[in-house]
Amino acid sequence: MPLLQRRHDEDALPGGGRLPVLPALRELLPEGLQRGTVVAVGRWSLLCLAVAAGASAAGAWCAAVGLPQLGVVAAADAGLDPGRMLLIPDPGAHWPQVVASLLDGCELVLVRPPGRPPAQVRTRLAATLRRCGGVLVVAGGWEGAQARLLVARQEWAGIGTGHGRLRACRVQVAADGRGAAARSRAQWLWLPGPDGSVGGADQVTISAPDMRDTG
Amino acid sequence: MTATGNVPERVLVVWCPGWPETGTGGDEAARDEGAGPDAGHGAAEFGRVVSVVEGFCPRVEVLRPGACAIGTLGPARYFGGEAALATKIITAVGGAGFASQVGIADGLFAACLAAERARPVPGARPSPGARPVPGARPAAAPPGAVMTVAPGHTRAFLAPLPVSVLDSPELTDLLPRLGIRTLGEFAALPAAEVANRFGTAGVVAHRLARGLAPRPLAPRPPPADLSVSQEFDPPERRAEPVVFAAKTLAERMHNGLAASGLACVRVQVQAVWEDGRESTRLWRHDGLLSALAVADRVRWQLAGGPPAPSPAPPPGGDRTTVRIPAPIGAVKRTTDGYPRGHEGQGGGDEEVWGGGVRLLRLVPDQLVHDQGWQLGLWGDAVASDRVARAAVRVQAMLGHDAVTRPVLAGGRSPADQVTLVPFGSTDDRVPPRRRPGRPGAGRPGRPAPDRADEPDGLGAARVDGAGEPDRPWPGRIPAPSPATVYRAPLPARITDDSGATVTVSGRGVVSAPPARMSADGASWLVVTAWAGPWPVAERWWDPRTARRRARFQLVTEDGAAWLVAVQDGRWLIEARYD
């Protein structure tokens, strides 16, 4: 029996009812990713990957539905484990079923719905989420999402007119949501930082760690 | 002549010339000239030949589609000698509608070569077997032909043959360069020296060249019918009873396999509807699926429904990737389009789409001796059951290639740095690289003809050491990497202040600073920062895949950053940093 118990718990992640997030995002998502909920990120961007990165690094499986353009290298740099990713680039018209099936197996599902999802689909997926205990990260709008994140401003550093190169991007992310996450917050992040990772950026200093280009 | 002790047993090989082969069967010319009416036969067709041969000897080893072998010792004694046995087999196989040739020699290797060199038609092609080799006597026996190498004469028969008949690319390439052109010359080398220089593969080849046995015959698993089926009378209109029956059937099938000490690589699920339509799919099993897991696959297959009304027989080739045309949303006619019958939910009233199911059959496919199954030691890459079930379920809806796992690979452009491998592919060699704009091109483990179908010769896509992410790749775009990588680069227009398209000269000089950009016909954006050009010329030695681009990074007024390239005067957006 102890063996069975251990096997059963193998998939459990630390944190119990929630999935961990990257340290840089803890201010924006103080509760982490609450299992069984939806996190809406305004549009497809590195922020979606950053939201998923903490849980993926902790061992969660992450599926990406309807995102043929997902940059896997950027995902890996942000902290996702490519070995625990499933990509379903073209789910077709039946993406809700695909998402529901994936939620059975993966803790995290990233999805970009082709249009505005009808209320019925949202209700159905919400029920699936509650049953499976996964987290749905939506690249787009989603009414009734537990948390909403939005890139408010972004500034690229390291590139000039005709010289330098893209080194890092300082991004202001705004967050609000429901329940305990209702208070709206904003935070500056390096998204991505000079090595592709995600880190907190000081609000005052504008310069990246090394903005001088050698080439 | 032959060393005592290691003399291999007498082997008879039945060879059907011109059978489509996937392996490197050796004799290209013989295959080409025979590839007339027989072309198109598959492994299943060859099963008929095998069962004919089994009438003479129950222990038949199938070498490949088109060739099988038996030991002649007992049958030859029973049927009155090797020549009589060979003639009887050729006649019987001919009666089944297949032309065949028979070779008899000491050992499988020599017997195969003898079968391929038995020439019925005079003047077809001078073959080495037609030479006066001591002990070899080609005997014309229409419609086939027989070549018998007398016991103990195998080494002499092999001696004049070129080393290219050895099934070892390294050796057949290396030996001629060392001046060793025939098996006789190779056999004359001292065995110890061969072992030193060529290793295990060389030792096996050397034993073959000397007419010795590399290994004993391995009879194929007994051909007992281990398939199980259940008929439904009246036809069952609901999915749940069929799935329940599938669980019982799967238990019976597993018990039958276990009793024979076998495991199956794949299981074929066949469902026949009352109107005669049937859905047949192969599911990977590997001896790992429980009865419940098999029942789940039956459930997913039923959810797909029967094929479209014009019942075309399932193509004989790779049936694992056949997509069920009926969408899963048609399972149930409620409005939200969700299939019912999630595990753990009710769903007993779920109606099987398109009438009732008359017959359900489970056929174990590719029987192998059950040697247990070793999972990967390092748990990271092994998908847990839960994930595998979800992935396979989605594959059942969308097709095998629709669910992929990314593998980081080497390359200069962001799109080259990832290879997508369909979930469940156990092939561990580095798959061909995914090229920009060719989703799903990185399909490993598919037979070569499939890839030849692809329009622009993707078989040639594996060049310059793809799949080595830790190599330097000079000219690669440094970190940070873009979060959006377009599968096919988007067309773009980039102009300078005066509205003229920006160009880059052959020497890498930009005509004017880029001022405005329009992505794929979208509205114009002011370029606030830019860097480049970074020219990169890739694969210049291969005109089909050569690529010469100059890359730029741009930041536009909306805060987005882009990786753009100019190639042949046209601007392309490769990726977007956001």
Q: Does B519 contact chain A (CB < 8 Å)? A: no
If asked whether residues B245 and B297 sit together in one domain, one would say yes
Residue B67 within any structural domain of the chain: yes
> Which residue from A65, A69, A67, A64 is spatially nearest to A52, judged by alpha carbons?
A64
Beta strands at A147-159 and A37-41: parallel, antiparallel or unpaired: parallel
What torsion, rounded to 10 degrees, do the Cα atoms B453, B459, B460, B464 define?
Answer: 160
pLDDT tens digits, one per residue of B150-169: 888 888 899 999 988 887 88
pLDDT of residue B20: 65
pLDDT tens digits, one per residue of B455-498: 332 233 333 334 566 777 777 788 888 999 998 899 999 999 99
The partner residue sitting opposite A106, judged by closest CB among B390, B418, B486, is: B390
If asked whether residues B27 and B121 sit together in one domain, one would say yes
User: Which residue has better confidence, B251 or B344?
Assistant: B251
Question: Which range is most confident: A4-8, B283-287, B532-536?
Answer: B532-536
Tell me the β-bridge partners of B510: B504
Enter the ipTM: 0.86
What's the pLDDT band for A136 if we cut at 50, 70, 90? very high
If asked whether residues B22 and B165 sit together in one domain, one would say yes
CA A109 from chain centre, in angstroms, equals 9
| Chain B interface mutation, best of A7, A101, A106, A110, highest count of B Cβ atoms under 10 Å | A101
pLDDT of residue B144: 62
The partner residue sitting opposite A86, judged by closest CB among B397, B403, B510, is: B403
User: Chain A: nearest CA to B277, how far in angstroms?
Assistant: 24
Residue B295 within any structural domain of the chain: yes
How buried is residue B535: exposed, middle or buried, by Cβ count under 10 Å (0-12/13-18/19+)? middle
What torsion, rounded to 10 degrees, do the Cα atoms B186, B190, B191, B192 define?
Answer: -140
Residue B542 within any structural domain of the chain: yes
DSSP B507: T
If asked whether residues B159 and B251 sit together in one domain, one would say no
Q: Which tokens hold the place of B180? A: 């060793």
Q: Which tokens hold the place of B558? A: 């909306």
pLDDT tens digits, one per residue of B539-578: 778 777 788 889 999 999 988 899 999 988 899 999 999 8
> Which residue from A136, A75, A10 is spatially nearest to B417, judged by alpha carbons?
A75
> Which residue from B202, B159, B203 is spatially nearest to B6, judged by alpha carbons?
B203
Kindly determine whether residue B388 and residue A72, on different chains, have CB atoms separated by under 8 Å: no
Residue B165 within any structural domain of the chain: yes
Q: Does A89 contact chain B (CB < 8 Å)? A: yes
DSSP B376: P
Q: Which tokens hold the place of A15? A: 């944190």
HEC assignment per residue over chain A: CHHHHHHHHCCCCCCCCEECCCHHHCCCCCCCEECCEEEEECCCCHHHHHHHHHHHHCCCCEEEECCCCECHHHHHHHCCCHHHEEEECCCHHHHHHHHHHHHCCCCEEEECCCCCCCHHHHHHHHHHHHHHCCEEEEECCCCCCCEEEEEEEEEEEEECECCEEEEEEEEEEEEEECHHHCCCEEEEEECCCCCCCCEECCCCCCCCCCCCCCC
Q: Does A68 contact chain B (CB < 8 Å)? A: yes
The answer for residues whose C-beta is within 8 angstroms of residue B150's C-beta and 6 or more apart is B135, B136, B137
Q: Does A72 contact chain B (CB < 8 Å)? A: yes
Q: Report d(CA A145, CA A104) in Å as an integer.
A: 20
Instruction: Answer whether residue A79 shows pLDDT above 80.
Output: yes
Show residues of chain A in contact with B417, CB under 8 Å.
72-73
| C-beta atoms surrounding A65 within 10 Å | 24
Instruction: Answer whether residue B15 shows pLDDT above 60.
Output: yes
CB half-sphere exposure, B229, CA atoms < 13 A: 15
C-beta separation of B280 from B361 below 8 A? no
User: Chain A: nearest CA to B453, how far in angstroms?
Assistant: 22
CA B409 from chain centre, in angstroms, equals 22
Show residues of chain A in contact with B389, CB under 8 Å.
104-105
User: Chain B: nearest CA to A57, how far in angstroms?
Assistant: 12
Instruction: Answer whether residue B233 shows pLDDT above 80.
Output: yes
Across residues B233-250, what is the average pLDDT?
Answer: 86
In the three-class reduction of DSSP (H, G, I as helix; E, B as strand; rest coil), residue B489 is classed as strand
What torsion, rounded to 10 degrees, do the Cα atoms B54, B60, B64, B66 define?
Answer: -30
Return the residue of A nearest to B512 by Cα: A162
Question: Which range is most confident: A11-20, B48-57, B215-224, B306-315?
Answer: B48-57
Q: Does A155 contact chain B (CB < 8 Å)? A: yes
The partner residue sitting opposite B559, judged by closest CB among A153, A163, A164, is: A153
Q: Report d(CA A189, CA A154) in Å as an integer.
A: 9
Kindly determine whether residue A156 and residue B329, on different chains, have CB atoms separated by under 8 Å: no
Return the residue of B nearest to A57 by Cα: B380
The answer for residues whose C-beta is within 8 angstroms of residue A51's C-beta and 6 or more apart is A21, A25, A29, A33, A39, A41, A137, A149
If asked whether residues B362 and B295 sit together in one domain, one would say yes
Instruction: Answer whether residue A10 shows pLDDT above 60.
Output: no
The total domain count for chain B is: 4
Beta strands at B516-519 and B525-538: parallel, antiparallel or unpaired: antiparallel
pLDDT of residue A103: 92
Measured over the CA atoms of residue A87, residue A91, residue B291 and residue A128, the dihedral's sign is positive
Q: Which tokens hold the place of A48? A: 């979606």
Among residues of chain B, what percentage have pLDDT more than 90?
12
Measured over the CA atoms of residue B22, residue B27, residue B29 and residue B30, the dihedral's sign is negative
DSSP B358: E
Residue B92 within any structural domain of the chain: yes
Show residues of chain A in contact with B529, CB under 8 Å.
156, 159-161, 164
C-alpha distances (whole Å) from A80 to each of A50, A140, B260 are 8, 20, 45
pLDDT of residue B378: 43
Compute the count of residue pairs across chains A and B with CB atoms less than 8 Å apart.
194
Q: Report d(CA A16, CA A133) in Å as an integer.
A: 10
Across residues B511-536, what is the average pLDDT?
Answer: 90
Window 212-251 of B: residues touching A by CB (8 A cutoff) are none
pLDDT of residue B431: 38
Q: Does B337 contact chain A (CB < 8 Å)? A: yes
The partner residue sitting opposite B328, judged by closest CB among A85, A94, A163, is: A94
Across residues B4-29, what is the average pLDDT?
Answer: 63
pLDDT of residue B286: 67
Window 24-63 of A: residues touching B by CB (8 A cutoff) are 44-46, 49, 61, 63
Domain that holds residue B423: 403-461
Q: Does B382 contact chain A (CB < 8 Å)? A: no
Window from A61-70, B18-27, B80-89, B141-150 with minimum mean pLDDT: B18-27
pLDDT of residue B32: 40
Amino acid of residue B459: G
Measured over the CA atoms of residue B48, residue B54, residue B59 and residue B64, the dihedral's sign is negative
Kindly determine whether residue B480 and residue A166, on different chains, have CB atoms separated by under 8 Å: yes
Q: Report d(CA B277, CA A31) in Å as an integer.
A: 53
Q: Report d(CA B364, CA B126) in Å as an integer.
A: 44
Across residues B52-68, what is the average pLDDT?
Answer: 82
Show residues of chain B in contact with A165, CB under 8 Å.
478, 531, 553
If asked whether residues B202 and B233 sit together in one domain, one would say no
If asked whether residues B244 and B187 sit together in one domain, one would say no
If asked whether residues B429 and B540 sit together in one domain, one would say no
Show residues of chain B in contact with A49, CB under 8 Å.
483
pLDDT tens digits, one per residue of B374-385: 444 444 445 577
Q: Report d(CA B214, CA B364) in Å as an integer.
A: 31
Show residues of chain A in contact with B414, CB under 8 Å.
71, 73
Return the residue of B nearest to A193 by Cα: B480
Instruction: Answer whether residue B135 shows pLDDT above 50.
Output: no
Q: Does B578 contact chain A (CB < 8 Å)? A: yes
The partner residue sitting opposite B338, judged by closest CB among A124, A164, A192, is: A124
Among residues of chain B, what percentage have pLDDT more than 70?
68
Q: Where are the domains of chain A?
A: 17-200
C-alpha distances (whole Å) from B175 to each of B154, B160, B195, B214 are 21, 15, 14, 19
Domain A17-200 bears CATH identifier 3.40.50.2000: no
Show residues of chain B in contact with A100, CB under 8 Å.
338, 342
Q: What pTM, to 2 d.p., does this model score? A: 0.54
Kindly determine whether residue B408 and residue A73, on different chains, have CB atoms separated by under 8 Å: yes
What's the pLDDT band for B8 if we cut at 50, 70, 90? confident
User: Chain B: nearest CA to A42, how far in angstroms?
Assistant: 12
Q: Report d(CA A166, CA B562) in Å as an integer.
A: 10
pLDDT of residue A123: 92
pLDDT of residue B521: 83
Sequence-ordered strand ranges (E) for B301-383 = 357-369
| Chain B interface mutation, best of A7, A44, A61, A73, highest count of B Cβ atoms under 10 Å | A73
Q: Report d(CA A12, CA A4) in Å as an integer.
A: 14
Show residues of chain B in contact with A101, CB under 8 Å.
390, 393-394, 397
